[in-house]
Amino acid sequence: MNDPQPASSTALPASGKATTEVDLSGRQLGDFRLLRRLGRGAMAEVYLAEQCRLQRRVAVKVLKPELADDRVYLQRFQLEARAAASLIHANIVQIYEVSCVDHLHYIAQEYVQGQDLHEWMARHGPPDLAHALSIMRQVAAALAKAAEQGVVHRDIKPENIMLTPTGEVKVADFGLARLTREGEANDLTQVGVTLGTPLYMSPEQVEGKPLDPRSDLYSFGATCYHMLTSSPPFVGETALGVAVQHLKKQPQPLEMLRPDLPASLCRIVHQMLAKDRDKRYPSARQLLRELRRVQIEHFGEEWPEDLPGWESLAAEEPPDPRAAATQELAAAMRTMALTRPSRLAKWLLAAALVTACAAGGAAGWLTMVPPSLLTDVKSTPAPFPKQSSVWRQWYLASQIGTEAAWQSVIDYFPDQQYVARRAQEQLALIYVHDGAYDRAMDIFEELAALDDEVELKAFGLAGKCGILSLRGKYQESAAVLDQLLPIRDKLTSQAMQKFVASAAKKNRSKLGPQTGKDWDQWLEQQFGDNG
């Protein structure tokens, strides 16, 4: 969410009288001390708070005081709490308490550290296949749980999908949720519950028709389309213009915009975007099954059953005579599939570094990347335990983030060459962070020599350039910069781009102009600054 806006702005409540909004930071609501305002919406404001008894950070959503006397608004606020509180799931933001203190109605909920998908996409662009499947799996798991409890979210969009640095995904904001269990339906149309967000709204939602979980699948399909192409399926100058397109227009085929994506994944997204809800997946669980098939097809590995939000669907599926053949094919593809550039490590790297690097170029890596934003490097008394698959090993390493954890990926799965090299990238970052430049340089030089893996080569050259500049070897650093120039477009990580930009600026301050116009133009395009 955005930082607090000035507290002096005015709002127009249901009564039509203007009121001055008050920043409640510093107030105590029951067991919760409000620390600072995180953001605001039409109905409520959200604060970062501390739960005193448990000494943990939480998010507290406070209904705007001027709306508390309006029965309909209060009913809608309580409905949100009721809908969300019924959903206990790893991929859904959890509700801790609903109460009222001094006429202030509030919901205390889980505080998710990280970025929402919209913010993440603005910084990184479309995720690679592995990351996209992980996000889709976890959101689908959340929607499956909501459907089981008779809850339709009604406002699935990138801003309501939270991404944590460890790779977890959590669906937030059931502010438009509707309970669909018999006897509990409540539309509250008089306060605009049916509005949703036009960019991701299902056709039946546009028409004001009754909704069911398949409406959430449409909105999720529109969100996935945006995630994979950097643009929603439909855009227009007005909300009405966008809404009409959801009713009548077909989105441009995903295969044309992203020919690098599996055709099976493109079909999944377009099926979610079917105008007729009967032609969409009947449930989020069926969507999960289809996503699992794509995972096996392209990576040769199942998702570990103990990953956040994953629930095994094997018991629900009817016997499939093709199952044995599929498993044999998956085993045969395992090594081959993992040698293709999935760029899985790229998003983990960016999630840890981009916040520190976004402030601008710095003279050295250590000033660009504070220890708290990289990885908490701790020694482990015993070797990191081996997991049952390379992806499980990778996932746990990304959570723990120690040298031993990343080294375990390399030691236990040396035959999975591409994944092992991505683990080397993480080790290099740890070594740089610790000032072990010799060890980091060994890895950077090895990666820089990989002519058949251009992305890894670009990463290695960027690392060499940065370390040489840190060591004051500006001429050598500038020479490496020249080697990177022809493949600069393969350096897709914004964090590493910032690292190179910092080294280039440092070199220039010591040596004068050393790079060609093409490189200067690239720096200006990326960062708006060529000097």
**CA nearest neighbour of 58 among 30, 22, 94, 104:** 94
According to the 3-state scheme, what is the secondary structure of 48-72?
A: EEEECCCCEEEEEEEECHHHCCCHH
- What distances in angstroms separate CA 361 from CA 53, 139, 191, 367, 461, one per listed residue? 42, 35, 47, 9, 18
How far are the Cα atoms of 447, 481, 502, 523 from residue 478, in angstroms, in the given order?
18, 5, 12, 14
Most distant CA atoms of the chain, gap in Å: 75
Dig out the tokens for 66 from the structure: 């001027």
b (16+ CB within 10 A) / e for 7-31: eeeeeebeeeeeeebebbeebebeb
Q: What is the C-alpha separation between 11 and 428, in angstroms, rounded?
A: 51
Beta bridge partners of 37: 47
**What are the catalytic residues?**
155
Tell me how long the chain is: 531
Q: Is there a contact between 169 and 161 (Cβ–Cβ < 8 Å)? A: yes
Q: Do the Cβ atoms of 63 and 104 come closer than 8 Å?
A: yes
Q: Sort strands 104-110 and 151-152 into parallel, antiparallel or unpaired.
A: unpaired
Cβ(44)–Cβ(64) below 8 Å: yes
Name beta bridge partners: 63.
44
Q: 294 Cβ partners below 8 Å, 6+ apart?
A: 133, 262, 264, 265, 268
Residues linked to residue 179 through DSSP beta bridges, in sequence order: 151
